Amino acid sequence: MEKEDEPKPESAQDKERPSRRAEILEQARTLFLDKGYAGTSMSALAKACGIQKASLYHHFPSKEALFIACVTEGYDVAILALQEIQDDRALTHEERVRRALAEIYRITIDSPVGRMSPLIAEVSRQIPEVARAFHDGFIIQQHEIVNAIIDAGIEDGAFARQDRLGMEHLIFGPIVTLSISRQMFTGLETIETLFPVAQVRDSHCDLILQLLRKQPESDSAA
């Protein structure tokens, strides 16, 4: 968090510019996630950034453009960690599934990108390109990596083949719902009883691996 001892524009292009624009985006992400799109005003954002409202319009032409930048950037870093797990040849198939699931839990619950679902749902009709970017840049990427990890296990004979669509929803569904539930029920005393992250994650992972190990619908094995 820098103050005001860096404002030298230098001769550098807009290549590296961690300054105002980035700070506005960060504050905006926080506010949008907390209050929603319509519930976040440019005045409130300006106050959170410690600048005047008019100054926001120097960096972004409109609230909508600011919002699009806000929810369209940052997918790459979230996907990168998953890809590294996918490519890690030192892991067993089961370990790779466990690592991947743990990473998806981390992204979906702890990072702003993962908590965006209700926000995207709010604006998806008004600003369809936001849903498109979230879908193509984040959802599809995650699904493809998980499918590839499972397929590799099936090819090696480590996993049984289960219905792909059902497995995708069985893997991502509980995680997304857990993230949203924890946002919905912040403050309720039962939240750590009904929605504890580590406990749900471990149990979820065990059940998924049971299904991957099992020969589907044919218990007469061995």
Partner DNA sequence: GTCTATATTTCGATAGAC
Partner DNA sequence: GTCTATCGAAATATAGAC
Binding stretches for DNA (CB under 7 A): 6-7, 9, 19-20, 40-44, 50-55, 57-59, 61-64
Neighbouring residues of 91: CB distance < 8 A, sequence distance ≥ 6: 85, 99
The interface partner of residue 177, options being DNA, a copy of itself, none and the CB cut-off 5 to 8 Å by kind, is a copy of itself
d(CA 156, CA 137): 29
Pick the stretch among 68-76, 88-96, 99-107, 198-206 that binds a copy of itself (CB under 8 A). 198-206
The residue with tokens 């996630």 is 33
Polymer length in residues for the chain: 222
The interface partner of residue 58, options being DNA, a copy of itself, none and the CB cut-off 5 to 8 Å by kind, is DNA
Which is nearer to DNA, 20 or 106 (by Cβ)?
Answer: 20
Smallest distance, Å, CB 51 to DNA? 3
Q: Does 38 bind a copy of itself (CB under 8 A)?
A: yes
Question: What SS3 class is residue 182?
Answer: helix
Pick the stretch among 1-9, 56-64, 149-157, 200-208 that binds a copy of itself (CB under 8 A). 200-208
DSSP letters, 36-68, are -STT--HHHHHHHHTS-HHHHHHH-SSHHHHHH
Nearest by Cα to 154 from 99, 216, 108: 216
Calculate the CA 189 to chain-centre distance.
26
Dig out the tokens for 168 from the structure: 């995708």
In angstroms, what is the C-alpha Rg of the chain? 21
Q: Does 134 bind a copy of itself (CB under 8 A)?
A: yes
The interface partner of residue 54, options being a copy of itself, DNA, none and the CB cut-off 5 to 8 Å by kind, is DNA
State the residues that interact with a copy of itself by CB under 8 A. Answer: 34-39, 117-118, 120-122, 124-126, 128, 131-132, 134-135, 139, 143, 162-163, 165-167, 169-170, 172-178, 180-181, 183-188, 190, 194, 196, 199-200, 203-204, 206-207, 210-211, 213-214, 216-217, 219, 221-222
